[in-house]
Amino acid sequence: MQLAIAHSHVSGDGQFTRKCHAMLEDMLGVPKVLLTTSCTHALELAALLLEIQPGDEVIVPAFTFVSTLNAFVLRGARPVFADIRRDTLNLDESLLARLLTSRTKAIVVVHYAGVGCEMTPILDLAQRHGIPVVEDNAHGLLGKYKGRNLGSFGCLASQSFHETKNFHCGEGGALVINDPRYIQRAEILREKGTNRSRFFRGEVDKYTWVDVGSSYLPSDLLAAFLCAQLEAREKIQSRRARIWDSYRAQLCGWAEARGVALPTVPAHCEQPAHLFYLLLPTEADRDALIAHFRRLDILAVFHYQPLHLSEMGRKFGGSEGQCPVTESVSGRLLRLPLYTGMTEAEQAAVVTGLMGFDWKRESVHAQ
């Protein structure tokens, strides 16, 4: 960061941004990556690039973060909620065919916890119907499906560099462009609708307004921070993998005896140790366990309220029973603390706290 300041270029697209672009393109094996101010904004760019119009339909999993669909709803699209698989908690590809209509303009998949969606059947179906697939890969940088990097399957993909992610710069993201047809327009949309990127490369002698757009590029200060994180990726990933593996090894017997499910990672997927969750038998168990951890000063949180049942989701016709797996999982999922700097003693405190949970007594009290 000091270097970025020393070079007195701290606005967007300086040397550190370019370095991050090159590193991410290399890590993912993709033609183009553009840093953005967030994953949310990368998804907004995707919706603009796909020219989503009012009345279009976009298929999204009901179990995701609000940005996955808000980006498309902002352009006037109607979200069509797909339920998720019981094992990986990813969009259930077997439901896709019946959700398609003549208005479907995109399928957005989320690799939950960095475990790949079933991309082979999803891409097969999408290609047959000529529908673009966008990957919300907020969780999945360095995850793999059948040996190939998550983020490299859809025509476009988004990454998050929010503080909660494996690699971060406080707030940040990236748009991954796998279909080169979108590269030039993406650069323009990201730079206030101007061809400034071409001007910086010396391809035009002045830059001007050529399209709609907004300001989606982060300061080079943030890129400098992210650059250091990406350079340390092996160290970061090996620490996180150790924590993730240790949770699994220590908890599998405990979980099996209590009907608690641990994350499922199919043999053809590699997950990047982004998060580790428990699926408790009931919502009362989950809430009691959160309260139990809170008494121990351990922050363990749930994930995603079903989006079809949210205030906005209901305006789009969402109703109870529409996505039963999402509804069930959302009430029972608990994420255990997992962060790169977590010490063995901190992890031991979480595991000991979990083992000390008086299952019957505390769950009954929570009801």
Ligand X SMILES: Cc1ncc(COP(=O)(O)O)c(C=O)c1O
User: Which residues bind to ligand X, rule: CB under 6 A?
Assistant: 38-40, 64-65, 67-68, 110, 136, 138-139, 160, 162, 173
C-beta of 92 vs 136, nearer to ligand X: 136
The kind and range of the H/E element at 110 are strand 104-110
Q: Which two tokens stand for residue 355?
A: 């083992």
Q: How far apart are CA 38 and CA 57, in angstroms?
A: 24
Q: How far is the CB of 38 from ligand X (least distance, A)?
A: 3
Q: How far is the CB of 138 from ligand X (least distance, A)?
A: 3
* Cα 119–Cα 231–Cα 5 angle in degrees, nearest 5: 125
Least gap, CB of 210 to ligand X (angstroms): 27
Q: Which is nearer to ligand X, 40 or 229 (CB)?
A: 40
* Beta carbon nearer to ligand X, 16 or 167: 167
CB of 19 to ligand X, least distance (A): 20
Give the nearer residue to ligand X in terms of CB position, either 276 or 353.
276
Three-class secondary structure assignment of 349-360: HHHHHHHCCCHH
Question: CB of 139: closest distance to ligand X in angstroms?
Answer: 6
Non-local CB neighbours of 93 within 8 Å, separated by 6+ positions? 85, 117, 118, 121, 122, 125
**Structure tokens that stand for 243 in this block:** 């924590």
Q: Is 355 exposed, middle or buried (0-12, 13-18, 19+ CB in 10 A)?
A: exposed
d(CA 86, CA 176): 28
Supply the DSSP symbol for 160.
E
Cβ 288 to ligand X shortest distance, Å: 25
Q: Which is nearer to ligand X, 38 or 195 (CB)?
A: 38
Nearer to ligand X, 41 or 292 (CB): 41
